[in-house]
Amino acid sequence: MTKEEKINTPSGLDNIHKLSIQVSLNGLSFCILDSISNSIVLSKQVEFKKDLNAYEILKELRDLLRTYRVEDYGYSDVVVIHRNTLFSLVPKSLFDEKELANYMKFNIKILANDMMAYDEIDQPELVNVYVPFMNINNYIYELFGEFDFLHNGTVLIRALLQSQSDTKRPVCYVHVADDQMDITVLENKKLKFYNSFYFDTKEDFIYYLLFTLEQLKLDPAHVGVHLFGSVKEGDELYKICYEYIQNIGLFYPSNEIYGSGESEEESIDFTVLNAF
């Protein structure tokens, strides 16, 4: 980012804004919402050329927030979204807060110093146990004091459940963000499946998608598959899906939040918009 990209932020703003920040190994994004006009004041995304470690991500986040003077606004709500594949969904009836590490160890390799957190997803009666970036949380606390943090899977599931129509047929949503894909399958406004994968090529992408459909016994010739996020009609991901899936299309989430002064070409991440 250059000095010319810096913005002039009005001074003396009351706490009328909401801030959502998404953090991942391969990118950052944030969105500032005016809670009075329900409009977007500013949003930015940064993609890294390679996956960074937690310390490098913190440095990038510091630079990003300073460049755009995010601290100059007054906030009523601050939310941090941790986007990674270090999570496990647990039925609420089987959940015990003392067993977080045991839920995780069957799905991922955890380190002795990993801190774990969890989000409750009330509608499907699930708990999302995950590993947040604790150094990021500590930094945000130093800047803004008390704040909320969530896993991106929690935000996706909640938002898609709210937006889905009353159709009883299963629908597969695939959210693409850089080299990560989140697959959510809903049926009759209930969660049937959620998982997240990293992919390197379009062949990886279609493999994970078709394998998921096969495991759920969903016919690619009939099930509706909706792509959204960093994907558009005619790109390589869309084209390879079109070869194997008959009912393929782009998903345009409805949202009552509208941009003000942002370029139409600059997309705002779905989870950043739906964090509140």
Decide if 144 is inside a domain: no
Compute the mean pLDDT over every residue in the chain, rounded to the nearest whole number: 88
Same domain, 171 and 241: yes
Residue 38: pLDDT above 80?
yes
The verdict on residue 186 lying in a domain is yes
User: Same domain for 172 and 111?
Assistant: no
The string of DSSP codes covering 92-147 is GGG--GGGHHHHHHTTS---TT---EEEEETTTTEEEEE---HHHHHHHHHHHSS-
Model confidence pLDDT, tens digit, residues 51-93: 999 999 999 999 999 999 999 999 999 999 999 999 999 999 9
Which residue is listed with tokens 């959940």? Answer: 95
Nearest in space to 73 (alpha carbons), one of 28, 42, 38: 42
Cα end-to-end distance, the chain, whole Å: 28
**Whether 244 and 171 share a structural domain:** yes
CATH number at residue 189: 3.30.420.260
Mean pLDDT of 27-34: 94
Most confident of 69-78, 201-210, 251-260: 201-210
Residue at which a domain ends, from 79, 108, 130: 130
Mean pLDDT across 133-153: 97
**Would you place residue 223 in the very low, low, confident or very high pLDDT band (cuts 50, 70, 90)?**
very high
141 within some domain: no
Rounded to an integer, the average pLDDT of 204-211 is: 98
pLDDT per residue as tens digits for the range 148-171: 999 999 999 999 998 877 677 899
- For tokens 């009523």, the residue is 76
Residues 164, 180: Cα–Cα separation, whole Å: 22
CA angle 191, 195, 196 (to 5 degrees): 140
Looking at the 3D structure of the chain, how many domains does it have?
A: 2
Residue 188 lies in a domain: yes
pLDDT at residue 267 is higher than 70: no
On whether residue 113 sits in a domain, the answer given is: yes
Same domain for 170 and 244: yes
User: Is 213 among the domain residues?
Assistant: yes
In a domain, 9, yes or no: no
For tokens 């600059």, what's the residue?
A: 266
Greatest mean pLDDT among 102-116, 175-189, 205-219, 246-260: 205-219
Same domain, 177 and 238: yes
Q: Are residues 246 and 191 in the same domain?
A: yes
Domain shared by 178 and 108, yes or no: no
The pLDDT assigned to 163 comes to 83
* Residues of the domain holding 117: 87-130
Q: What is the pLDDT of residue 273?
A: 87
The model's confidence at residue 264, banded by pLDDT at 50, 70 and 90, is very low
Q: Are residues 171 and 234 in the same domain?
A: yes
Note whether residue 47 is domain-resident. Answer: no
pLDDT for res 255: 60
